[in-house]
Amino acid sequence: MSEAIPRIIALQMCSGVNPEQNIQTLVNQLQQLPTTRPLLVCLPEAFLVFCKSGNDTLKVAKHAERYKQQLSELCQLHNIWLSAGTMPEPYNDNKYYAASHLFNAQGELVASYNKMHLFDVIVDDSTASYRESDFTQAGNEVVVVDSPFGKIGLTVCYDLRFSTLYTQLVRQGAEVILVPSAFTVVTGQAHWQPLLAARAIETQCYVIAAAQYGAHENGRQTYGHSIVLSPWGDTLSELPTGTGFISATLDLKQLHKIRRDMPVQSHQRFREHLL
């Protein structure tokens, strides 16, 4: 019998301001999953709720445990691993973490990563000024976890621009890196695919980026283009527009061959200066 090759799904969403409706969208999509197991389903940033204000998101954060229980039950029902994009987790009365949770097929929460780099920028779009730090507390922990899909490193959206984080992930053993995102259209058109390809090539990891797409109830517009990249930088699957999911298989033997043939990590000359 041939060895099963792990399969992943990246779900592209257009999340709104109502968490219950977004959960129902997820439920509907999970009913259409392929039968292959093990299976990792990856959700985008802000999959649970994409509010109009930080105060509204704070209100949702208070119910985080209830939503995590629902996700746990879905994992058990469908026998899947789930990377739950990001959802708000309470930090204090004024701020929340943008938390990325990873559940196993038994519904257990096996890892959590709090978004480290916050999107405080000016963009030439209808929103113009983004101040994520007004309500979001930055995380400070690099997270890599074992799984049937290889060692998974967790990142979120704006983290993509900070290559030293990805270098640290691969040093801690990462073979697959997740990048749940809600990129703006302007920055997505300019930088989304080049940045993702660069992170895949330099770390020699699979990179899985589930994205938000479209015009949202909160007035935001997001770029979409959910994508799976190989450790060589090849595009294995992509969904430029619309909602739905893409899939790809992961071949860790090929990953390790790439690393043996081109051992870039051992060639690194600036190791002492990185994190």
- One of 45, 75, 175, 205 is an active-site residue; which one? 45
CA distance 81 to 104: 4
Phi, psi dihedrals of residue 58, rounded to the nearest 5°: -60, -40
Strands 226-229 and 206-209, sheet pairing: antiparallel
Question: Would residue 205 show up in a list of annotated catalytic residues for this protein?
Answer: no
Buried b (16+ CB within 10 A) or exposed e, 188-201: beeebbebbbbbbb
Instruction: Give catalytic status of residue 238 as yes or no.
Output: no
Indicate if 3 belongs to the active site.
no
CA distance 144 to 79: 22
Report whether 81 contacts 104 (CB < 8 A). yes
Distance CA 32, CA 102 (A): 21
Query: Which tokens hold the place of 191?
Result: 């930088």
With left for phi above 0 and alpha for psi between -120 and 50, is residue 242 left, alpha or beta? left
**Marked catalytic residue, from 42, 75, 89, 115:** 115
Residue whose C-alpha is closest to residue 4's, from 168, 239, 249: 249
| Cα maximum dimension of the chain | 56
From CA 130, how far away is CA 128, in angstroms rounded?
7
Given 42, 51, 75, 157, which residue is catalytic?
A: 157
Catalytic residues: 45, 115, 157
